[in-house]
Amino acid sequence: MLIRVVLFLGVGLVLAAFGAAGWQYWQNMPVSVAADVEVIEAPEEAAETPKVVKDAPAEDVADLGQAWLVSETGGLVARREARVFLQQSKFVEDRDVTMTVRVPLEQLLSEGEALPGAPYVEAFAEVRAGVMGNFICAPMVAAWAQGCAVSAAELVDDSYDAKTQSAAFRVRVVFTMKAEPTPLPDLSTRAFTVQTIRFDTNYLSIDDSTPQSFLAQAVALAGGTCATEQSAGTPCRIMSMSVSWSAPDKADASFDFGTLGPLPAGVFPAPPLF
């Protein structure tokens, strides 16, 4: 009887040892092998506040699942341009508006504030340069931009004119685009093109006595250009803009816009061979 008890205990210990080893092996098995094991993934992190994207991975370029665009020759468009066009809801570094503008420094004052003495005027202008960001963002957001943020703002060196108490500022803002009512078409069936329009006050045929009015006209022209393309069935988005104003007769601007037109006859997109 005692021998039988010892035998059963020995067998039980052996089975327990093998069971523990098996469980350890099963725990360490790759998921692809342990096909019947349920994999529980961590919950997705909350979306972060949009940041300026300098060099996002290709898979992050589009919110549409496609991170590439086809050029008119059938090749792939540079990542920078694809990112600017496709990531319309994110602040992207290269989708910007730059403006060099001369304004009276009194425009930078708060209500009830006065300009400082002569030795401190330029320092005051340098500190308040960021105020010019609102100057640029306001008409854009009122027209076709969803969001706008100042990327850089500075006083142009040696630009202060004591006689007129004015100075030139160089301001750069990045922006996001309002969503279109219709989604983009299949990107593999369209050719992406970037076009540039340059103009001045003569082109607009208006009396732009202020930088505000000239900027508003530039914003309206850019928006109207894309609206015309959209009405013709060609997706269009503003890529960037540059504006310069120093006097009513010394103002010019340009803007780039991207469009998705049909592929030229005989052109077929092909993936890169690597």
Is the pLDDT at 12 greater than 60? The verdict is: no
CA–CA distance, 222 with 231 (Å, rounded to integer): 15
| Residue 68: pLDDT band with limits 50, 70, 90 | confident
pTM (2 d.p.)? 0.71
What one-letter code names the amino acid at 215?
Answer: L
Average pLDDT, the chain: 77
**Nearest by Cα to 240 from 254, 259, 230, 252:** 254
Q: How confident is the model at residue 264 (pLDDT cuts 50, 70, 90)?
A: confident
Alpha helix stretches (DSSP H) within 28-157:
79-86, 121-127, 132-143
User: Strand 96-104 and strand 236-247: pairing?
Assistant: parallel
CB proximity list for 188: less than 8 A, separation 6 or greater: 66, 70, 269
Smallest CA-to-CA distance from 127 within 104, 155, 149 is with 155
pLDDT tens digits for range 207-235: 667 898 899 999 999 999 999 999 999 99
**E runs forming strands in the chain:** 96-104, 145-155, 166-177, 190-200, 236-247, 250-262
Q: Would you tell me how many other CB atoms lie within 10 Å of the CB of residue 130?
A: 15
Half-sphere exposure of 242 (CA within 13 A, CB side): 8
